[in-house]
Amino acid sequence: EAPHIFPYIIKTDKGHEGEGIFLVRNESELDSALHHLSLMERSGNCGFITQDFVPCGARALRVVKIGKKVFSYWKISPDPKQVIATISHGARIDHNIFAPLQEKGKREAKDFCEKAQIDLAAIDLIFPEKNSEPRPLFLEINYFFGRRGLGGSERYYEILFEEVGKWLEERGLDSSRIRLI
């Protein structure tokens, strides 16, 4: 028995920014995805996962945890039929819409990070469209992630510097010895 019914998603292990993600709606698309995966495997990039396709309104919630701070924003695809909402493929960033879902996602991601002892990561979540009270589904955890939704790299490093300083002080260490260069 197959692990999924059509449609479903195949993701390569090493992809990022929406690359290496295939929506498989039928046998022909499965053959195409498997061909691509075999080419990647020959070049040393092995591994993939499959997951159910969950319609989510062409948007994903990015929750970023840096130290004790938690930030969130939506990545919204300009095309409602788009499967992947990623900035590199034209998704826009919105910090304000769907506030109740955003708070729910932040809370779940923060709880997960605390239990897993994660201090620095970006977590992508989706909310199934069909549910009136949806719970977030965790898509992935990124340790190397884009920073545009935080205000860019400079802002990211300012936040990181501040949180590293607090982390050192909590442990009785001198944070004045670190510098942001």
Cross-strand pairs, 19? none
Kindly state the percentage of the chain with pLDDT values over 90. Answer: 62
Nearest-angstrom CA–CA distance, 94 and 46:
34
Find the mean pLDDT for residues 93-105.
96
> What tens digit of pLDDT does each residue of 50-63 get?
999 998 989 999 99
pTM for this one? Answer: 0.89
- Confidence band, pLDDT 50/70/90 cuts, at residue 15: low
Q: Please name which of 119, 124, 123, 106 lies closest in space to residue 160, comparing C-alpha atoms.
A: 119
pLDDT digits 0-9 by tens, 20-36: 788 899 999 999 999 98
pLDDT at 11: 87
Long-range contacts, stretch 153-159, CB < 8 angstroms, 24+ apart = 156/66, 159/66, 159/67, 159/69
Pull the structure tokens for residue 153.
């790299």
Domains observed in the chain: 8-52 (no CATH), 59-170 (3.30.470.20)
The whole-number pLDDT of residue 116 equals 98
Mean pLDDT of the chain: 91
Residue 155 per-residue DSSP state: H
Whole-number pLDDT of residue 1? 66
pLDDT in tens, 140-167: 899 999 899 999 999 999 999 999 999 9
Given a cut of 80, whether residue 19 has pLDDT beyond it is: no
Give the span between the Cα atoms of 133 and 128, in whole angstroms: 9
What is the band of 16 on the pLDDT scale with cuts at 50, 70, 90?
Answer: low
Q: Using DSSP, state whether 33 is helix, strand or coil.
A: helix
Cα distances (Å, whole numbers) of residue 109 to 11, 137, 149: 22, 10, 17
Is 60 within 8 Å of 124 (Cβ atoms)? yes
Alpha carbon distance 158, 56 (integer Å): 33
